[in-house]
Amino acid sequence: MGLRFKKSKKVLPGVTLNLNKSSASVSLGPKGMKQTFSTTGRSTTTVGLPGTGLHYTQPSSYTRNASDSSLFGVPTSQRPTSPKNKWVALILCIFFGFVGFHRFYVGKTGTGIIWFCTAGMFFIGWVIDIITIATNAFYDTDGYVLRGAGVKQISSLPKEPGN
């Protein structure tokens, strides 16, 4: 039997912040019909009859796949470079980070919505993001290092001898 943790908190009418041991998510919508966006990249739509326990859940999208997990644990200097710019992300984070603009910019829509609904996770996550972007420890949705972070572009094609 595994250990489970789940906590839900109503943030606004129709907006619920959900936390569990492996991710966080935001649910939007009234009882009986909601859309959920998770930090894992998963999005689901749920329709049901309130009070009956009957509901239907349809996964809407997955933004990550099995190949994405291959970059976790890889040092920054060995990761591919993102097309997103570090300096744009840092400026967006400093001035608009409490509403998650920098997270939307790098493709992290799920956590961008969470930042938007919770004022940058109550300003603590906003400060952490400023530090991680400034220290080159912030990655885009695919796990790539932001461009301009002092990391060379890693080519997927080997160079031919003599060129």
Percent of the chain with pLDDT over 70: 79
Question: How many Cβ atoms are within 10 Å of 137's Cβ, its own excluded?
Answer: 14
Give pTM, 2 decimals: 0.52
For residue range 60-80, what is the model confidence (pLDDT) as tens digits?
A: 654 444 444 566 566 767 778
Give pLDDT, residue 73.
64
Query: For residues 151 and 80, what is the distance between their CA atoms, to the nearest angstrom?
Result: 9
- Answer whether residue 163 shows pLDDT above 90: no
Cβ(85)–Cβ(73) below 8 Å: no
| Cα separations in angstroms, 96 against 82, 99, 101, 103 | 21, 6, 6, 10
Domain parsing of the chain, residue ranges? 8-62, 73-147
- Secondary structure, 3-state, 144-156: CEEECCCCCCCCC
- Over residues 129-137, the mean pLDDT reads 86
- Answer whether residue 97 shows pLDDT above 70: yes
